Structure 1
Amino acid sequence: MADSTNSLMSTGGVNGLGIVGLNSGMDTAGMVKKIMKYDRMPLDRTNQDIQLLLWKEEAFRTQNTSLSTLRDSVFDLKLETSYNTRTVANSDDQVAAATAASNAANGSYAIKVDKLATFSSNSSTDDPKSITKGVFLSSQVIGTSKSLITIDKAHHSFDLTVDGTRTTVDLSKLSGKYSAGVKGGKSLTRLAENIQKQVKKAFHKEGINDISVKVKVTSNNQLEFYTDDGLKHNITINSVANNSILNDLGFKDGATVSTIDSATSLYNLRDQFVNADGYFTNKSTPTDTFNFTINGQAFKFTNNDSIDTIINRINATTTAGVTAFLDPESNKLMFTAAKSGDYNHGRPGIVIDDTDGVLKSLFKIDQTNSTVGENAEFSVNGTSFKQAGNSFAINGLTLNFTGTGSSTVSVSTDTTDIVKKVNDFITAYNKTLSGMNEQITKTRPTKSGKHYDPLTDEQKGQMSEAQIKKWEDLAQEGLLNNDQLMISTVTDLRTKMS
């Protein structure tokens, strides 16, 4: 009985997918695989049919895209504007820039510009030439970051370049310790006076007897090299290889002249304005306010505000009707009217009421500086015109005057654009018809009398990527062969074009 039991369990097994107890030698695993493959055939066929429908849908979508392009080109041809584009020929665009609308009348226009419209303006006066004391070069704040300046045998020289002439300034005879807040021989003021003397001596050796550079201490306890002749000068200060005092004086190596720092508050710039005393005597604190109006629009600021703040607020206030800016070369504050021409009938286009005198005292601007804008004067085909602006429209043609002189402007229909639209239509029509005919006439390829059907997952597993692509390309050919919808569409296209 024990032998019989061993016989029943000795053949077959789970790993071999055999049937336990049968020792017949049959390929039971292969049989099961074939049975499963047979059972999957309806599912595989369904998946293949779905894939064919998806490919066919994609083929229709491609043809539909071509039809959409053709429809768009037909639509362009139906638009009236497609035939109304204009081209402009201009003999001198330095006199006027010309553009033509689609409804512009074809023709020739003789343009003559005698005078351009100008803008009313007001700016700092030219006398003196600058609203600042020439140019200036300031140190760090002495007494805060540099509480003590020591001049000795190891620290006493620097190089100063003025308008291209460079020389070494030796302060060794000024040895000692100098600081802010001290009066007498060791004060910053006395140091500045003595530095100026040494600067003059140094440039005298270079053959320059009338050096324009001066030295002082500002109200912020800064050492400052400056000029006060109202002229533009180039000043640069450099350290020397040995015994340099530059860092102790509060200057960086290579520091050069400064113009007005428009981001700094007016209060901190008070030493730079020629007429600072005339204003800051009565407005002596950072929080003091000042007022003025431009064209009736009131403005209020404090001494803590910067020139940039003043300019930006004016420019943001459209009711003032002006644009303000600071010329970086001359440091002049300038106002320009927002619109051109003599719109105030001979009166200034910018009316200023300098309530607290800040514009006149610091920036040398007052109402007497205002100019009146002028109107443009021109003729078109012999007819004269005068107007406030430099833009003029006639018969759909817009002229923007840019200079005085004469020019001939011609307007004509732009046939280039029309030809392009017609060619675009022909190209789209031929491409659409050709593509559809190709799909209708192309038959599905076969292999051994059978069509190339979509591959099953099992089939793909036995092929390379290149083989799969080649097979599927063949499987997608001819899917719209003799498709009745396509044939009907082609017939309709040909009929409409005949």
Structure 2
Amino acid sequence: MSTIRFGGIASGLDTESMVKELMKAERAKVDKLQQNKQTKTWVQEAYNDMNKSFANFILDSKKALGLTSTTSTGSTFTTSYSSLTWVKSASSSNESTFTATATTSAVSGTHNIEVKQLATGVNKASIKDIVARNVELGGALTDVTSTTELSELGIADGTLTFDGAAEAISYVSTDTIATLVGKINALKDADGNALGIKATFDETSNRLFLSTTAMGSNAQIKITDDGGGLFTGPASKFATDLDLNSELYVGQDAEINFDGAEGIKYSSNQFTINGITIDLKAAQPGVTNTIKVDTNIDGIIEKVKAFVDSYNTLVDSVNTKLGEKKYRDYQPLTDEQKEAMDEDTRKLWEEKAKSGLLRNDSTLQRTLQTIRSSLYEKVEGVSGAFSSMFEIGITTGSYTDKGKLEIDETKLREKIMQDPDGVMELLFKTSSSSDEETKKSETGIVNRIYDNMVEGMKDVIDKAGAGDNATLYRKVQSNIMIEFVVKGSKSLIDEDLLSIAKRIDTENDRLSNVEDRYWKRFTALEKAMQQMNSQSTWLSQQLGGGQ
């Protein structure tokens, strides 16, 4: 029930202003809570921005290093460093016959290759122009397009069955050529996968084409039922050279001789052998070409330097936040203070108020320290010549560099020449151990950085949540949010903000009651003054009337 308020009618007082001034002092506590809430919100946003930087560093650097692969579904996964294509280089002696690239596992030296034949699929086409075929069969067709109905080709309702298809195609005379093509392309096998047969119609040549989407000896086109004579038989409406129930229409495997091994077959013209990825362009039977594989020293140095530069940039940004000056006299503005400032002044004030929010933050400091400490530790279980990054010319620099890395390029080049596989193992080794401590000790330098950074990200998520970045974080590690979700998906800052919000609500209720009390008192004063004025007027009238 609202209180009726009288504003100085009898007393002449500016009641509204007086209540406002009285409430200003009362609202100081709410203003303090609102400022605390705003500060914590800014801290949460600053944490989320930092975690976003960690995530982007991991994703971008892994992509640059070739440590991620993208599947048809768009997901990414970490691959073995043995598949990296920048560690070794491969050159083909005849690029018109084949091209070659080398992975880390490729054996350096010169390799011999003879391309005996290419892989092919099955390709069948209308031997004759469909219009001409129609006339030949007694029809009167003068033109044909993808919208021509089957009835115009003399085709009635029927079915067509391809070997391996889960079901036959049913067509009707009113179907167009485009409709028939679509039905063929939609065929599935018994497992629900695409059958692998593609139909197309070319309006320029008036011909229909059937082909396999795959190559090799497992690719085939076999028609087991064609009662309507679409593709088979002497009255074939599309005039192909397909023969009903024939086993002849199969693809061909690629075949090569490689380093003395003869008759090696592949179902594709792109394949990897002995760590060398080969893309066949033409057959050249009887001719032996060569592939030369060498360590790509410049390529390795370039990738390592790019990673270190990116890492140092991230470390710089974290250290900048940790050392950022805190302006304690600049607190978040109240609504009243904002109204009293112009926009530019307000922005400058907020910049000062947001400065130093993560100064000397223990969570970020611990993450950097953990990463830094792990870099000093040896990589256990290596088979190469190096177990420490200092051995290959990578150091943490001076104390003032605050964890940034430095590269002695001359030393790094020397060590790559000495043992390129050892350098790669030191940087990218992974461990299959189920023991956590053993796994950490057997993990290479680069992967240690990633692993420790992910652990730091989890600490930040526990403290500040994920904000709008949950999807990004899951790209870094699919299960990164699981522990957070199990705990209830509420960060420490979220809990603080909820507590502050409740206190603000309670305080606002109190303020509402306080303001009502003030108004009740002033209203009582106004009523008393009004009554007194009325009595004074009556008394004056009585006294005046007695004279």
| TM, length-normalised to structure 2 | 0.46
Whose relative contact order is higher, 1 or 2, with alpha carbons under 8 Å and at least 6 apart? 1
Q: Which has the higher strand share?
A: 1
Q: Which has the higher helix share?
A: 2
Q: Radius of gyration: which is bigger?
A: 1
